[in-house]
A and B are shown apart, each in its own frame.
Chain A
Amino acid sequence: MELFWEVATQLMEPFVFLLILGGVTAGLFVGAMPGLTASMALAVLLPFTFKLPPLHGLVALGAVYMGAIYGGSFAAILVNTPGTPSSIATAFEGYPMAKDGRALEAIGLATVSSAIGGLAGVFFLLVLSPPLARLSLQFGSAEYFWVAMLGLTLIASLSPGSTLKGFLGGSIGMILAAVGVAPIGGENRFTFGMPVLQGGVEMIVALIGFFVIPELFNMAAHGRAALAEVTLESRKRGTFLGAIRTVFSMPGNLVRSCIIGEIVAIIPGAGGSIANLVAYNEAKRASKHPERFGKGAVEGLVASESSNNVTVAGSMVPLLTLGIPGAPPDAVILGVMLMHGLRPGLDLFTVSGSLTYGFIISMGLAALYMIPVGLLGGRLIYRVIVKTPHYLLVPSIALVTILGTYALRNSLSDVVIMLLLGTSGFLLKELGVDSAPIVLGLILGSIAEMGFVQTLLRGTALEHPWMMLFQNRLSQIIIVLMVLSFASPYLSSGVRRLKKPLDKPPEEASE
């Protein structure tokens, strides 16, 4: 109880209130810019936090992190380009909604879902840390490999046109992931004599290229503003109460997405970028109307946005208990904690309990503050984007994109790579190969490679090293999930065909 009051008084300070509010707002705008990511925002903030007392520094970092993951949804909804990799699936539903004049509704839903996701992550972190931390340790190299394989099965449902073209895209992504220094073996691959390619194709660079550039080409080619005027109905549904009503009308989806977000979050190295896609995929599979997905299905949007914000506090389970960063931005937070002499582990929750709990609860507050900041900021950003004529909007987005890409690693070659990938992404899209499977292949390619080779190495002494891939119980469980996930689109369509023999042939994807 004493601890409770201590934590409460700390968080009541007006300065802390301002830190959280400012952090969320700053994070939101950073996240909304394609190319500026949560990790980058935290890195920029880092030197300032050394000047603050530990709690204030951590509170600011947590708020920016929370805001940035949420802010990514704005760009996804309004411009069809995920602002951060955590909002890839948000664009699938959010943008079609915005095109139908439902932009404000989409923003409202994203806001409420993100806030709920953020709170759920804080809940998991407060209540279930010890068992979740034990679970996270079960993931070894074999499990990583199978998780990546499980992720690749998402391709089947992410490519509405043709599964085959989806897998073609996935393969392109995996080949791109192989560029640079081999994670195991250390040789240079596909560098073509250019030292700069040792750095490989950075995931964010590819993400920007494949999502933003084709969209800009489209906007320029069609000579239209990106969005339709918002309808009155959308305005009504986009209010706080309207959005709450919609989000809570799907409790199953919400609970499922939050649990998926948490499980992905505790797997070290995987964060919001994978959580949002998995949650989206599961929402689609569970939906009674999977055919509405890709055309503005609110379930998909809610699943994506709630799951990615769970990972903010959720990924701190392994961080605070074991010192293992669950997602890339957590590495920055770990650095700050160590520099302040805070060693992850039991001491953090007992000896420096008031600080740790203060930090955790502040992330919950940040999630709540997102609602007013997001609803107001969202309207502002929406108005700017709708009111700007396309001949100004396209070059401005292009400029931000190029600056963002450069800032990522201070590298001009990344800009060149981004533009090349973007142009080929546009052409591939014209051929029916969608961007999402390519980016998914890129994200998962290196995880799969590492997991596979490490597992074979671990099995060096066995007669058949590959047996190592199947030995653990957790590996076996993931393999079963993978088979189910891969087979389910075919199974369910088979079942439907049996039920309704005269079903219409599947329509071509509209985009």
Chain B
Amino acid sequence: MKRAVLLALSTLLIVTAGIAFAEYPDRPITYIISFNPGGESDITARLQEPFLEEILGVAVNVNHKPGGGGAVAWSEFQRTAKPDGYTVIGTNIPHIIGQPMLRKDSGYETDGFDLIMWFHFTPNALIVRADSPFKTLKDFIEYAKAHPKVVTVGGSGTYSANHLETLRLEREAGIKLTYIPHTGTGPLAPAILGGHLTSLMNYSMLPAQLGDKVRVLAVASEERVEALPDAPTFKEQGYDIVGGAFRGVAAPKGTPKEIIAKLADAFTKTNKKIAEKQLPLGFVMTYATGDDAKALVDKMRRNYSDVIVDIIKEREKK
């Protein structure tokens, strides 16, 4: 019995020593997704999984921990995940910017991650039904000017990318709209196709999926989106509105630089491989790693800060 214990202990020692000296990575990596299976974050992770495994040489396990628009997973991650490179988590802009500013008890901080990479961008798009009288963004804005609050805009979530973009459009164009939040992208398609809403502010994937049943009045990207060649940008039409959801991956704060670099490299290579599947769906691939990744968060924070400050002021009035 004693010998067995000794043997077990010494094996354990050797193994731990091995772990300490072996080159990263030498055991499975957990990749946490803070949204439901079947969503964009999940599908992307599933597409990445085989390529990551091939490049890193270890298993990559995708886990889901949905809830609170991602906040449940992010707060637990910042509290408990070890900065050893074996746990990473999917992150989203503007969620990680908006939630900590606007919610009590969100439980995490925007800058509490070591960002690995932002791998794609789904710009917001202003969408109407194909038979809508609004042919252009100009029609839409003129009507909204003459009829404050009459035009309804559906989107996914409150203080989400969709919501904040609608508020920015109101400011830029000097109009008043009525934003109506929905839970996720799923309920938006029937709401617009059934004529229950005038318009949608949602991501570029939805019009790519619905095809000629809807018309895109404007896309909030720098350049036109590959999957929607006929949809003009806000910029082309004179409004400086660029925004949407960025998806990426982050490690716990304090993870060694070499490990972050290695992961960033693996995700970059993977992103190039899955681009051909994602581009036709309305995604815009991005390759922001290292300082660029941090700069992107800062830039988007500045972009949205005006509307967020407005929201906070309005709340205090109440």
Residue ranges of A at the interface with B (Cβ–Cβ < 8 Å): 39-40, 42-43, 46-47, 50, 136-141, 180-188, 191, 193-196, 198-200, 202, 268-269, 318, 322-325, 331-335, 338-339, 341, 343-345, 409-411, 450, 454, 457-458, 460-461
Contacts and interface: CB of A to CB of B under 8 A. Distances in A.
Interface of B: 32, 36-39, 42-43, 46-47, 49-50, 62-69, 71-72, 75-76, 102-108, 147-150, 152, 157-159, 178-183, 186-187, 189-191, 193-197, 209-211, 213, 277, 280-281
Contacts of B280: 341
B38 A332 contact: yes
Given A323-B209, A458-B180, A137 B190 contact: yes
B106 A198 contact: yes
B67 A409 contact: yes
A177 to B, nearest CB: 13
Contacts of A268: 186-187, 190
Contacts of A409: 64-67, 72
B contact face: mostly helix, strand, loop, or mixed: mixed
A199 B72 contact: yes
Contacts of A324: 186, 189-190
Contacts of A345: 211, 213
A183 B69 CA distance: 10
A186 B102 contact: yes
B183 A180 contact: no
Given A50-B46, A183-B183, A450-B183, A140 B196 contact: yes
Contacts of A50: 46-47, 50
A461 B149 CA distance: 6
Nearest to B76: A196
B178 A458 contact: yes
From B68, B152, B159, name the one whose CB has the most chain A CB atoms within 10 angstroms.
Answer: B68
Contacts of B103: 181, 186-188, 198
Contact of A198 (B63, B105, B158): B105
Contacts of B50: 47, 50
Contacts of A454: 180-182
Given A331-B39, A458-B196, A195 B186 contact: no
B64 A410 contact: yes
A131 to B, nearest CB: 14
23 contacts: A43-B38, A46-B46, A50-B47, A137-B193, A139-B190, A186-B181, A187-B103, A188-B103, A195-B71, A195-B107, A198-B75, A322-B193, A323-B209, A324-B190, A332-B37, A335-B38, A338-B209, A339-B277, A341-B280, A345-B211, A411-B72, A454-B180, A458-B197
Contact of B68 (A47, A193, A200): A200
A136 B76 CA distance: 39
B47 A322 contact: no
Contacts of B152: 457-458
A344 B210 CA distance: 8
Nearest to A144: B187
A195 B178 contact: no
A322 to B, nearest CB: 6
Given A411-B67, A457-B178, 5 more contacts: A198-B68, A269-B187, A331-B39, A409-B65, A457-B179
A200 B67 contact: yes
A188 B105 CA distance: 8
Shortest 10 CB-CB contacts between residues of A and residues of B: A199-B67, A195-B107, A198-B68, A186-B158, A43-B37, A140-B196, A137-B194, A331-B38, A332-B38, A195-B75
B209 to A, nearest CB: 5
A55 B43 CA distance: 18
Contacts of B49: 47
A343 B189 CA distance: 14
Contacts of B75: 195-196, 198
A266 to B, nearest CB: 10
A410 to B, nearest CB: 5
B190 A180 contact: no
Contacts of A180: 67-68
